[in-house]
Each structure stands twice: as structure tokens, then as C-alpha cells.
Structure 1
């Protein structure tokens, strides 16, 4: 692993984050869908459209409620162009999401997951986690949010997914507003139905000189050699 594993991982993370700017997410999603065996499950048939809807609506974030991990894995399969914030009370789902493309888990109390999305506590939770998404650089608060939730008495979308759009309240906190104004948001640079390649190098000059990096969706997997065994170095690897 070398003497500076934290620097190596940070470099990898920077490379993939910047490379993602030139990916034609629309075409990648269609490619995966075209080569998925038919018939697909009813849940996958519904969730495969989430990535496309995020592009079509110009959304800045996907929020997904899950207790088994089934729904977030299906959404991640079709390579969404924006981060997916997975709300769950399951420790297993929380850990599992860290290995999937674009998924960012957020653990909550189990009592909140047992309530419907329209419940006042759930709506308050939405505002809370979206504020956290702004401060962590996942979302800029200027665009709608795609919400994938359950259709029924629970918020989980694993059995009966329901897709809606959520327009949050304008942040009153000046710090949040400043963070939102400096956020990098994905904008398609392609004529979607005419672009035939899966990956394109459509990176503009503004993308290169901008000091605001996009939220990285690709996960980094590495082995841990002797240089990584200290508690301090493990912390640096997580931060990278």
C-alpha cells in the first residue's frame, strides 16, 4: 500500500469524482435497462425509472426510504446522476449502502420508519436530513428532490415504492444558503436521444476551473496493509 495510503485514496477519490462529470448517465441507464433480463420484477420496473426521472426533472438529490436494502440497490443499479440519500433504521442496510454506487446512508430511529411519509414527524425528518445534505455537499437546495417512499403505513419503499417530488422550504440559515450557492449540480451536456456512446468527454472549461467538486458517487475499495493499521490512519482513509 505504500507509505501514504491516505494520499493514494484521496487521489483516487478526486479522479473518479472529476471523471463522473463527463459520464452520460442517461445513456448508461438505458444501456443497463436494455440488457436486463425480462420480465423484471414489478419493483425493479418501477425503480429503474428513478434515475431517468432525476435527469428529466433536473433534480438535485434522491431521497429513498428503505429497511431491507432492496430498493436502494435497484436504484443504484441504473447509475443515478445525483447522490441517493438512503434513510434507514437498519444497521445492516446502513453498512451495505457504503459499497454501492451513489448511495449515502442516513440512520434514523426505527419509530420514524414505521410512520407514513405524510406524518408530521417524517416531514420534519425530511427537512433535517436535507439540511444535513446541504452542509455535507450532497445537495444544493435550489432544485427539487426525488423522493422514493412506501405507499402505505410505513415509509419504506422496499415493497410498495411510490415516487414523488419534494420542494423543501428555503433555508433560513445563512450558512446553508452560502453552501447551497456554491454547490456543484449535475447538468446534462448531451443531446440525450442522439448520443450513442456510453461515456463521453463532454467536460467544459468551467468544469475544469471550478473550485467546487461534484459529490462523488463512485466508491473506493482498497486493501489494508500495515501502513493502514493505526487508528489515526484508518480515520484518514475514511475522511479521504
Structure 2
């Protein structure tokens, strides 16, 4: 089973922060790191999961209503740790670049299913390309139109379809692949919720299936209690996004 750090090492450190990503990038044999991107009011790419800042910072309101300078004034706290700020996508790529140029991979989720940020696809594809990291990136989204735009901008980009249900992921992927002649059938990865594997393995046609286990909820438990991957492997899962990857690989 290939293991990815879900929003970095997000069980022990604040999710989607430079600390969480730095801790993850140094884990031996980690397949990759997952994160989420949105746009500020002045068009800057920032790394944060929720459309609102309330849960993870001391601020209030929507990410899209803040300028980058205003977002950077918010604090992310984690117990006795010093506070951090919401990172820009460029800051994260600069941090991870040495490992991304080796074997580490980065899954960038475009948070466009609730609010369709105009131009976000163009901005992230250009940034990744300018930094020479295109081969190390997987782009995913719950909103298929974002994946269409990414493919049009970068036809060789690796894509992953997000949904709660595995069946929805599969049928979205098949639909996307039918749009293009320049993409191999079966090459778009499926990113379902790990508790919603509602298809028999034979229907998956040997696709990459990266299952996510969001939040700090069952079946993951803090303090070192580990998941068993047997039933997920039997269901065709090839990779998992976990909040505590360090417990499995260290």
C-alpha cells in the first residue's frame, strides 16, 4: 500500500502548514503529500482546506474575501507550538522542491466544487511549470470541469477524480477520458472516500485508487493505533491518504 500524507502530517501538526509538510517530506518511503488550494481576493494561490478560515485560524469568513496580506495576518495555533500562517502555494513548492525532484509526489486538490475560483487552473499549472515540477504533480478535484481545464492547459498532467463514492469517481473518470483522444483510457486515478468503496474490484480495470480518510475520524486513531489495509487492498485500493503517515513508515 502506498501511503500519502493527508494535508501533511495533520494528526500531530496543524493541517496544510509548512510544519506539517516539512515533517511529511522527511518520512522515509512516503509516496506523496496531499494539500488543497484556493484563491485570495487578489488572486494569490494559498493552501487551505475549508472555504472559510474559521476552523483552522483565528479569523472569520471566506478565504476568497481576504487579500493575501490579510490572510497572512491570521494565526494558526496548535497547543504550545508557535503560531503559523496560511502558506502560499509557492512557499510550499519551494519547501518541497528538493524531494519532489526525487521520488516524492504532490497531490494538489483544486477546491472548486463549492466556489469556482476563476483562473485557478491557469495559475497553478503555470506555477508548477515555471518551477519545473510538472512531473511530480497529481491534480485532483471534486469538480470535473477543473480537471478538463487542467488537461487543456497541460495534456500530460496526471489527474485524479474526487468523490465520496468510488462508483461516482469511476464514471466521472470514464466520462472525462471519453472527451480526449490524447489520454490513455484508464489513466485517470480514482480518489474515493475510504468508507465508500461501492464497486467490485473487477470493475476498476486496474486503475490507481487513492482512498482518503479525512479529518481525525474512524478508522484512524491518534496515538499510534494503526489501520489494517487488508480489506482495502482486496477492494482494489492502491494508495491511502492518512493523517498519521509517520506511524506507518517510521
What TM-score does the superposition give when structure 2 sets the normalisation length? 0.31
Larger radius of gyration: 1
Greater relative contact order (CA < 8 Å, ≥ 6 in sequence): 1
**Bigger share in helix:** 1
What TM-score does the superposition give when structure 1 sets the normalisation length? 0.32
